[in-house]
Amino acid sequence: KAPHVDNSYKWAGGGLISNSRDLVIFGLAHLDETILKKETIDYWQTSLFTSDGESTNYGLGWRMDITDSGQRWVGHSGGSTGGRAMFIIIPEKEFVIAVLVNSAPGGSLSQLALDVSKIFLQ
């Protein structure tokens, strides 16, 4: 039997505990204007800059980058004892993917999510 893990310390920082289906539904909500205004989504998903003018590739809670095939993606990773997650939205393709694994730290989940995305978007 696995020991109980108290995740309450994470609540103040978001502490989102979810599953892949709900994360995809959350991502889809960022692709239409039913719940959030386009201006709000754009504001959250715009990179911040350092004092030197360098892009941080990070908006308000969103990491962002470009896929190998040139599409912009936004997402976020997370984890706790015994599990990790990577959540990516590719707005141009109206595509959302959530990868969750039961494992200790290992390889890059963002690269895995992007590789799987590439297969679906071919």
| pTM reported for the whole predicted model | 0.83
Q: Domain residue spans in the chain?
A: 18-120
- Give the per-residue pLDDT at 105: 67
- Residue-wise pLDDT for 66-107, tens only, equals 999 999 999 998 877 778 889 999 999 999 999 998 876 667
Q: Do the strands 72-80 and 83-90 form a parallel or antiparallel pair, or are they unpaired?
A: antiparallel
Q: Where are the beta strands (DSSP E) in 51-107?
A: 63-66, 72-80, 83-90, 95-101
- Residue-wise pLDDT for 18-38, tens only, equals 889 999 999 999 998 888 899
